[in-house]
Amino acid sequence: MTPKAYLTDYRLNKAIEFILEGQAVGNIAFDVGFSTHSSFGRSFKRHFGCSPSEYTEKYMHKYAQNSDLAENG
C-alpha cells in the first residue's frame, strides 16, 4: 500500500467514526483532511460502495432498529 493510499484509507475510516458519532456529513470531509466535498464523496463511494449520506441513512436505520429491540428486549 502506498503512503497516499494508506492516508486515504485512514481518513475514510475516520470519517466512518465521525458518521457513527452523529456528526454532520457536510463537515466531515474537511475534518478528515479532504479539500472538497466532491473529492471526499468520490473517495468514500469508491471505498465503501455508497455515498456518505447513503451510509448515514443505512446506519441510522439499523441503529434505530437495534435501539427499539434493546428497549423492548
- Give pLDDT tens digits for 6-20: 999 999 999 999 998
Taking 60 as the threshold, does the pLDDT of residue 70 lie above it? no
* Rounded Cα gap, residues 47 and 38, in angstroms: 14
37 HSE (CA, 13 A, CB side): 7
Structural domains of the chain sorted by starting position, each given as residue range(s) with its CATH number in brackets = 3-72 (1.10.10.60)
Q: What is the pLDDT of residues 20-66, one digit of tens each?
A: 888 988 899 999 999 999 999 999 999 999 999 999 888 876 665 65
- Annotate 1-17 with b (16+ C-beta within 10 A) or e (fewer): eeeeeeebeebbeebbe
